[in-house]
Amino acid sequence: MNAPLNAQHLQPATVEFELNGQAVQASAGDTILAVAKRLGVEIPHLCFSEGLRPDGNCRACVVEIAGERTLAPSCCRAVAPGMKVQSGSERALKSQKMVLEMLLSDMPDAGYKWNDGGGALPLSPALSPGGRGSHAGSSSAHGPGSALSHAPGGRGLDLPPSPLEEGKAEGSGAGAWKQAPGQHGELSLWADRLQVIVRPELKALRREQPKADISHPAMAVNLDACIQCTRCVRACREEQVNDVIGYARRGAHSEIVFDLADPMGASTCVACGECVQACPTGALSPKTQIGSQAVDKSVDSVCPFCGVGCQLSYKVKDNKIVSVEGRDGPANQGRLCVKGRFGFDYAHSPQRLTKPLIRREGVPKDPELLKHLDRHSMDWSQTFREASWEEALALAAGGLRHLRDAHGPKSLAGFGSAKGSNEEAYLFQKLVRTGFGSNNVDHCTRLCHASSVAALLEGVGSGAVSNQVSDVAHSDLILVIGSNPTANHPVAATWMKNAVQAGKRLVLADPRITDLGRHAWRTLQFKADTDVAMLKALIHTVIEEGLTDLDFIARRASNFEALRESVKDCSPEAMEAICGIPAQTLREVARAFATAKAAMVLWGMGVSQHVHGTDNVRCLIALVTVTGQIGKPGSGLHPLRGQNNVQGASDAGLIPMMFPNYQRVDNEAAHAWFEDFWGQPLDPAPGYTVTETLDQALADDADPHKVRGLYVMGENPAMSDPDLHHARHALASLEHLVVQDIFMTETAWLADVVLPASAWPEKMGTVTNTDRMVQLGHQALESPGEARADLWIVQQMAAGMGLDWPYVGEHHGVAQVYEEMRQAMHTSIAGISWQRLERESSVTYPCLSEDDPGQSIVFTERFDTADGRVQLKTVELVSADEQPDLEYPLVLITGRQLEHWHTGSMTRRASVLDAIESVATCSVNGREMLRLGLEPGQTVRLASRRGELHCLLRLDEGTPDGTVFMSFAYVEAAANLLTNSALDPVGKIPEFKYCAVRLSA
């Protein structure tokens, strides 16, 4: 991008014009409607929606412009100097009303849109309470009787009352058609506001009503309520870039179609629901929210699934979430994916734990039992008995205390959760360090990006991303490696697809060609396990062809000569045979990356989950450094974080070698600071990681470091750890296991005490997304039965361990906990006070003062290393721990899928997600199927040296030869029974992405 010549170029020119007789100033390029909204001047509009390209097809928004013969659509007409606009002239109003009347006349007698009043009618931000662009307000009552429930004029606006509200419709003439308020969504609301009454003669001409399509598990299609505004088409094609919805046929026969006019449920729809959110009339609706009814409240929160951190609103009726709407958060701008939008009812599952449970006397912990669990019945009454909170807490904490006192602090460990809040994570690690007495605390970051964090801390001094996902809009080249974002980070993927639409180049590097490949300029389908060879070839090319940014290297990097030496034999021609990518393609991509004005790398667990995961990331750091592609807009490093709060949980100190904010426990100054801060002596030695803890649980009884007691908050290692046979036996061998969760997870089955906890919509707290945004979620629901808030439970456990914690206030002192954490992390979040979060909902760190907006791009001047320079590292080619052989000839790659998250404990209990993907499958390509004599849909046996499972076979041409892909979300076919527990020596992350397997009928 060329730098602007002077500040004037940054400002669009100002345009002066007249709106309804008043002189108005606007920016060049503003539409009349945008200016009117800003000023609170109401102009009806239907096909226009914020965030979508204006299409100008409904003509509800026409205005009169002096000197022009025809009325102009205000949504797509730009203001011009001297223009005189009348939005409420007789002629404009007549036309607006005529459009609304004609559209209304075609509507079915009963509408489909709930009158929740909260967002159906797009008001100007200036007038909308908590509306788009506003961060005010955490929840709003929209129920009957609330101001907002009376949609027309119901927002404190000085508008005429609805004729329907006043009963005027009945008196407006015999046969005048009366509609229920708001039943056709925005159409009804605008019609009410303009006092539009449909004449009977028009109603008599109503079009033939199309049949409903209810073939999709999540959404209903009622095209009798469709006004053909194409908002759904634009949302699907241009916003989410899924290209499923189209506009077919001509004239009176024109209609919205899915693919080739398929039923929605049989189409390629990925159920992001963006069309439902875009639809102004309810023609497309969530199945849970059809009909003219009202919700009790709308509560602002953050999605509980992936690290993208989409902001959303829970629509709640009778303490149940009935639907979810995307909010205009900085990471999602209103967008959601299928999990965030339709995966909410896990919170209402009948399988929720509602009472504390204690293992029955004499019932053994049998890890083999987990292979035969019936996930539908979940009757634990033979294994556990219900208990009071007093009894359960006394046993839970008492058992741990006894082990600590008898065997020393190292005999205990804690696994915190990346699905909980920052405050829970902070308190949990504080409990382990000050109450258990060691640093044996870890969480699932060990299983997803531990190697990325290790390499980033070493290389650039910070484990977080350098640039936010949406910054791809400023990249010329986007390299996505080892990641399947359309499945795992779907809203993040939309920013990448949008960038491609805007002409940017996308390179997808992955052994599997996934959906994003359709949008890629080049796909590098390298052989699994050869990341380092491929990346060294790219670095070699940059250096050999003189494409290095020598100035950047000289000013900001260390160890370049050693790096150059280490890649000198790694030409693309030499690496081609190893990684399987033609040398010419490697050179082409390397040149494009180096010469792009801005290039960014985003990666996932395909990079990190290898025994050479840290080396893979070291190579990525080297690639952006030698090309100078870091520290500026559109250029940098972004490890796409998995769980919704894995970034925050790591920041808060759920890591065995780090205090909060990545301060090493063996650093004398940090150690002294925390001893002083918490007022207690602390262990100066790093603790055990997740996998080391389980190894230590199986240690010899004489081992002084044998782990005997474990407290697990919201994690499920009996599903998520590699080589589950080993992991489950380790868990079963513990003398005392306390599990705090919302469901009877596979880990909980092996517990001594199970504490029923709260689901995310039931609590208030902060989470930190992959973009370093600290975001606030509000409580929308009461927990069922005797389930209690996690923050309360952790504090009770701390009291049971002899700690005297002082947190008071609403939601179990969450604000006080946050403020304490803010002090412990002052070098990154000092400027993000609790009050500020309540005001702004989301603030990016680093943020050092109240008036600091937060830095979305870091390393612009220096890196966070001791000398401020990138520390380049040299790496060697290392092979996966276990190679295929005659007995186990295929490679297994595990991962996630769009509908199911992680171990599936939540998503498989979400009815829509489970309906879309209900059975375990493994995928191979057609050639492999033919070779093995297998067919799609048949039950197959997948086996490794560590275990076997049965599942259905799926055809996936993106999976390479000799490879099987499988999700690890299915308890009845747990992929981790097969995986290898070999670790990356630096990050201690297991090699989930590569092990040898056999596939047979």
Q: Which does 73 bind (CB under 5 to 8 A by kind): ligand SF4, ligand FES, none?
A: ligand FES
Beta strands in 217-350 (DSSP E): 219-221, 245-248, 255-258, 284-286, 297-302, 311-317, 320-326
Q: Which does 184 bind (CB under 5 to 8 A by kind): ligand SF4, ligand FES, none?
A: none
| Shortest Å, Cβ 133 to ligand FES | 19
817 C-beta neighbours (distance < 10 Å), count: 27
Distance, in Å, from the CA atom of 751 to the CA atom of 169, rounded to the nearest integer, reads 64
Residue 503 class from Cβ within 10 Å (0-12 exposed, 13-18 middle, 19+ buried)? exposed
C-beta closer to ligand FES: residue 229 or 759: 229
Q: Does 999 bind ligand FES (CB under 6 A)?
A: no
**Helix ranges restricted to H, 568-611:** 572-579, 583-595, 605-608
| Shortest Å, Cβ 33 to ligand FES | 7
Distance, in Å, from the CA atom of 397 to the CA atom of 269, rounded to the nearest integer, reads 49
Q: Does 56 bind ligand FES (CB under 6 A)?
A: yes
- 15, 35, 41, 58: residue in contact with ligand FES (rule CB under 6 A): 58
C-beta closer to ligand FES: residue 60 or 797: 60
Distance, in Å, from the CA atom of 929 to the CA atom of 936, rounded to the nearest integer, reads 8
Q: Does 490 bind ligand FES (CB under 6 A)?
A: no
- 34, 35, 60, 331: residue in contact with ligand FES (rule CB under 6 A): 60
| Shortest Å, Cβ 562 to ligand SF4 | 39
Residue 379 class from Cβ within 10 Å (0-12 exposed, 13-18 middle, 19+ buried)? exposed
Q: Which does 970 bind (CB under 5 to 8 A by kind): ligand FES, ligand SF4, none?
A: none
Q: Pick out residues in 467-486 that bind ligand FES (CB under 6 A).
A: none
Residue 22 class from Cβ within 10 Å (0-12 exposed, 13-18 middle, 19+ buried)? exposed
Q: Which does 60 bind (CB under 5 to 8 A by kind): ligand FES, ligand SF4, none?
A: ligand FES
Q: Give the residue at shortest CB distance from ligand SF4.
A: 340
DSSP string, 701-712: TT-TT---EEEE
Residues that bind ligand SF4 (CB under 6 A): 226-232, 256, 278-281, 283-284, 303, 305-306, 308-310, 332, 336-337, 339-340, 489-491
Dmax (CA) of the chain: 95
Beta pairing partners, 923: 954, 965
Q: Which does 232 bind (CB under 5 to 8 A by kind): ligand SF4, ligand FES, none?
A: ligand SF4
Q: Which does 527 bind (CB under 5 to 8 A by kind): ligand FES, ligand SF4, none?
A: none
Q: Which does 843 bind (CB under 5 to 8 A by kind): ligand SF4, ligand FES, none?
A: none
Q: Does 233 bind ligand FES (CB under 6 A)?
A: no
DSSP strand pairing (72-73 vs 62-65): antiparallel
Q: Which does 61 bind (CB under 5 to 8 A by kind): ligand SF4, ligand FES, none?
A: ligand FES
| Shortest Å, Cβ 61 to ligand FES | 3
**Helix ranges restricted to H, 409-559:** 422-430, 445-448, 450-459, 485-488, 490-501, 531-544, 550-556
Secondary structure tally for the chain: helices H, strands E: 31, 38
Q: Does 969 bind ligand FES (CB under 6 A)?
A: no
C-beta closer to ligand SF4: residue 34 or 58: 58
Q: Does 793 bind ligand FES (CB under 6 A)?
A: no
C-beta closer to ligand FES: residue 228 or 514: 228
C-beta closer to ligand SF4: residue 490 or 722: 490
Buried b (16+ CB within 10 A) or exposed e, 890-915: bbbbbbbbbbbbbbbbbbbbbbbbbe
746 φ, ψ (degrees, to nearest 5): -60, -35
Q: Which does 231 bind (CB under 5 to 8 A by kind): ligand FES, ligand SF4, none?
A: ligand SF4
Q: Judged by CB under 6 A, how many residues of this single chain contact ligand FES?
A: 12
- What SS3 state is found at 92? helix
| Shortest Å, Cβ 603 to ligand SF4 | 17
- What SS3 state is found at 799? helix
Q: How far is CA 372 from CA 260, 366, 377, 725, 814, in A?
A: 42, 11, 12, 14, 40
Distance, in Å, from the CA atom of 398 to the CA atom of 114, rounded to the nearest integer, reads 51
469 φ, ψ (degrees, to nearest 5): -55, -45
Binding mask 25-54 for ligand FES (x = CB under 6 A): --------------------xxxx------
C-beta closer to ligand SF4: residue 182 or 309: 309
Q: Which does 196 bind (CB under 5 to 8 A by kind): ligand FES, ligand SF4, none?
A: none
- 19, 75, 387, 912: residue in contact with ligand FES (rule CB under 6 A): 75
Q: Tell me which residues touch ligand FES (CB under 6 A).
A: 45-48, 56-61, 73, 75
